[in-house]
Structure formats: structure tokens, C-alpha cells
A = this chain, B = another copy of it.
């Protein structure tokens, strides 16, 4: 008769602490205190501290993958796909700010085996974006010289969101995604110059 939510609570508190102080700077005693128990009591619910990190990052990876999948598989036009993919990506971050922070910032603290699992999911996610951009280039919707470079730039900009979303005032995820795609699609220049 497991009391419900116990483990979830631990994961949530861990996300908060890991995202704020980092994985290595957070102790088992920090986590247990945040959960209102002693350090030993934690181990009725988890096997190791690293389990917590893995579960948080793995859930994060799955959120990204599952939110992008239906968009990539759909048959919308590339520009619309990009817009929707951006919204999805940003939603995952803003709706799970602490878990996303841990996912981006602390996944390298995982040991070899589990780190590889996360690495693979990151690669899969990046490949989905690559496909999305390729379609746009092939269809003539995007004018991209260096696809790999463009992809890395886009994802860097989007991933950086977890570091400043709090500061962006009361923008909704949709508003953020709109401004995002607007800049990425149209650029910053005034448009007087001809496109090359």
C-alpha cells in the first residue's frame, strides 16, 4: 500500500534543487530535508542519487521527443511546421522549467551507461529537427546555406530559453514562439537590402 505521490514529490524537489544548485552541489540531505524527512528515509523510495538525475533528464528527453514527433510526421508546409515545432519546444521548456534546466545543464553528470541513453535521445531529437529543416530547403521554403549550422543556431537559441524565461515578464509560450520564429524567419535587418 504505497502512499501515492511520495516518489513524485521527491522527483519534484530534486528538480528544484538540481536546477538551482546543480547536481553535485545538492546533497541527499538537502533533498530529504526538502521532502520533510531524514536522509536515510529517502532510500525507501529511490535506489541512488543518480537515479533521480536520470529519471528527471530521461523524462525531459521524452517530453521533447513526444512533442515534436507528431509535428515532424504531419504534412503541413515547412514554415508552418517550423512554427509549430518551435511552439512545442518552447512549451516543453516553459511548462517544465526546472526539469528542463536539469536536462540541459546536468545531464553530463550521469555516468557512462545512462549518459549514453540520454545522448542518444538528444541525437534523435536533433535529427528530427534536421529533417524538418531539410524538407524546408528542398521545397524551397527555406534559404539555408549551411543546414547543420542553422540547426545548431536555432536549437542553441531555443535551448537558451531556460536561462532567461523567468526574466521575460509575462510572455506566454505562444508569444515567445511567435517572436522567435519571426526573427528566425525574417531576420533583423530592415529588408531594404536584397536577399542574396
Contacts and interface: CB of A to CB of B under 8 A. Distances in A.
Interface of A: 22, 24-25, 79, 82, 105, 108-109, 136, 140-146, 148-150, 152-161, 163-164, 167-168, 171, 176, 179-180, 182-191, 195-196
Contacts of A182: 145
B184 A195 contact: no
Given A156-B164, A160-B152, A160-B157, A188 B142 contact: yes
A156 B164 CA distance: 9
B153 A183 contact: yes
Given A145-B182, A185-B187, A152 B164 contact: yes
Contacts of A22: 22, 24, 108-109
